[in-house]
Structure 1
Amino acid sequence: MNLLKPLGGEVTVHMKAPVEEVWALVSDVTRIGEFSPETFEAQWTHGATGPAAGARFKGHVKRNGVGPTYWTPCTVTAAVPHEVFEFAVGLEGNVINTWGYRMQTENGGTSVTEYFKLTPAWYIRGYWLLLGRLRTKTNERGMRTTLEKMKAVVEA
């Protein structure tokens, strides 16, 4: 395994909905519990009320859908309406990974790519060597579930 290659993965789903509707859904962290198999709720924190670079929120996670359960701090790193919504997981200076959504108008709807990238610290690389393939499969399955549930909402 190449240790220099990106540590992450992505899944793309096409939705028959305008990019504005898709953006509104993926950037509303308070709704993630309706879609994600691991993060069952999220709340804006530190005075944030919506998606903007630097806005902070916390996600309530049940790892692998079974536990352990914990709150994790997140910071929005990119919020470009109708294009990208991305956030870092972890405290400033100790980011574990980054999650995001890229949107592109296509074929009368919107193609949405959900992705994750692990921070390339030595201990994360070690984790990736041991469990990366398994975790990637779990994350890709979870991202597909999330996007398919979002698709059902915006296409309804």
Structure 2
Amino acid sequence: MTEPTAQACVEVSASAERVYALVSDLPGMASAAEEFTGGTWLDGASGAAVGARFRGSNRRGWRRWSTTSTVTDAAPNRFAFEVKSFGLPVSRWQYDIEPGAGGCTLTESTWDRRPSWYLPITVLGTGVRDRVAQNQRNIEVTLERLKAAAES
């Protein structure tokens, strides 16, 4: 796999299990993430498992859009999913959790998977011209919120 297009990490004074429970929980992530506002498990899924799909709702200002994601990793040290919009690849999001003394390190990464011809369409839909820079800012905010939630 290529290098992520955006990535950051944070030290969390909470167990890896607690952090995994937060990043793999759709309502929990909706309260922490910058653009993700919620999701619904599809096809009878009720939680994070490899192959489970969910429809995610997103918002930036007055713009709203939805995506369909498929969970690719659901292990104690990693939660990841591939995102599609209108059947087209959009991104991969990944949360790596490394246990350590007194807590863990949480790394959030994303890979932009949009075809080049699709970029102008997503700019119109989301209002974001520089998705890589925006995702970097979003990840930093999200990690701080996840840290606060895990440590509370």
Give the TM-score of the pair, scaled to structure 1: 0.82
5+ residue gaps in structure 2? Answer: 122-127
Letter of the structure 2 residue corresponding to residue 150 of structure 1: L
C-alpha distance in structure 1 between counterparts of 2:47 and 2:137, whole Å: 27
Shift of 1:12: 0.2
Normalising by structure 2, report the TM-score: 0.84
The match for 2:95 is 101
- State whether structure 2 residue 30 is matched by structure 1 residue 30: no
Give runs of ≥4 in structure 1 deviating > 6 Å. 124-127
Report what 1:16 is aligned to.
Answer: 13
In the TM superposition, what are the counterparts of 1:49-64 in structure 2 within 5 Å?
49-62=46-59
Aligned-pair CA distance for 1:96? 1.4
What is the DSSP-based 3-state SS (H/G/I as helix, E as strand, rest coil) of the residue aligned with 1:37?
coil
**2:44: which partner in 1?**
47
Cα RMSD after superposing both structures: 2.5
Percent identity for Structure 1 against Structure 2 = 32
CA contact (8 A) 1:14 1:109 kept: yes
Per the alignment, residue 125 of structure 2 pairs with: none
Instruction: Say whether residues 1:135 and 2:131 are aligned partners.
Output: yes
Name the count of aligned residue pairs: 145
Amino acid at match of 2:71: V
Change in CA separation of 1:6 and 1:20 when aligned onto 2, cut-off 3 Å: closer
Post-superposition offset of 1:70: 1.5
Per-residue deviation at 1:30?
Answer: 2.6
